[in-house]
Structure 1
Amino acid sequence: MDSTSGNDELESAVSHLWQEHLQAPFPAGLRGAERAGIDLVLLDADAAGCVSAWLSGGGSLDDGRRSVLHRCIADLDRILPALGPGDDTPYWQRMYRLSCWVARVDPRPAE
């Protein structure tokens, strides 16, 4: 497979998962909440903004957004083990997967 078709496949996968994510409401009860010292609304907004920019930018990010996205991935790595009942873990796992795909980072295995 050439790199163009690989990029097309990645964009298609991200687009599909992104549409699924957009249909999911932000987890109830987490507005203003923190896990592992990380503001969940801000994390969600930052990661979502990067994914959206990547999709609208034809599969690329500027250096600033790339830096923000890598920070989001590190934050998601920290919050995922700290999530409890009612925190909608699948929502955060989906955002983690999207962020890793866009950053072209291999996601860690799901727990």
Structure 2
Amino acid sequence: MGGTSEQQNAVTLLWQEHLVAPFPPRLRTADPAGVDVVLLDAGIAGCVSVWRKNGGRLDAGRQRTLLHCARELERALPLVTDAEELRYLLRLRRLAELTAAH
């Protein structure tokens, strides 16, 4: 089942924000709570790209990947105190949650 128009609009807006947001430099080397944010970012971006290309649809494997990434971000978030880093990670988590939803 494809995403709703409201869901697609929300993902589109978040995705546009994400594409122009610089990756927080400290998170290139810091792994809060053992979470490799660079890998999560790449994994989520790939899944979101497929979701958008497929009209709001994802296979079960990519949905699981997104849910795993969102859980990993949940572990990392309490250890991140920089406002820009938090904004970046919260947006990334929201993208994962929205695109994983049916």
Do they fold alike, i.e. is TM over 0.5?
yes
Over aligned residue pairs, what C-alpha RMSD do you find?
A: 2.1
- Provide the C-alpha distance between the structure 2 equivalents of 1:49 and 1:34, rounded to a whole number of angstroms: 20
Report the AA paired with residue 91 of structure 1. Y
Report the equivalent of 1:98. Answer: 95
Based on CA coordinates, which of the two structures has the bigger radius of gyration? 1
Deviations 1:21-74 (A, max 9, x none): 101011012213211111110011111111111111110111211111111011
Report the equivalent of 1:108. Answer: none
Which 4+ stretches in 1 moved above 4 angstroms? none
Report the equivalent of 1:65. Answer: 62
Matches within 5 A, 1:1-111: 7-85=4-82, 88-104=85-101
Q: Specify which structure has the bigger relative contact order, considering alpha-carbon pairs within 8 angstroms and separated by 6 or more residues.
A: 2
Q: Please report the TM-score for the alignment, with normalisation by the length of structure 2.
A: 0.88
Stretches of structure 2 lacking an aligned partner (at least 5 in a row): none
Instruction: Give the count of matched residue pairs.
Output: 102
Greater helix proportion: 2
